[in-house]
Amino acid sequence: MRVVVMDTQEAPNKWWALQDRRMRNVANQSLYTQQQQIRMDRIKLALELVVKGQIYEVNYGKRGASVKIKSGYQVRDRKNLALLETDWASEGIIRKETAQGTLYFMPR
């Protein structure tokens, strides 16, 4: 699986950043087909089975959709996570590492 390490900054005003993200998420969700939305929901559910930690809702952007796992998570089942990641890599899904956590990104 392709892994990208990103250097990101936290938002200075987190409440406004959350409101902006929610608004953009609703607007951008209409850019994705029903199959793509279902695929991202299944990725989130699969991550909930193999990872212990906070997993955020699917975030829909203009260039792609992603599922974020907050930093400090623990992997419950390494073997199945490796199998999932190889399957996702064949579909073009990328894992991005940041200081805030790990994202699984599906380009649009």
Report the alpha-carbon distance of residue 57 to residue 60 in Å, rounded.
10
Q: Name 108's Cβ contacts closer than 8 Å, sequence gap at least 6.
A: 31, 32, 36, 62, 63, 64, 65
pTM, full prediction: 0.83
Report the alpha-carbon distance of residue 108 to residue 103 in Å, rounded.
15
Is the Cβ–Cβ distance between 104 and 47 less than 8 Å?
A: yes
pLDDT tens by residue, 30-88: 999 999 999 999 999 999 999 999 999 999 999 999 999 999 999 999 999 999 999 99
pLDDT tens by residue, 11-35: 788 898 888 888 999 999 999 999 9
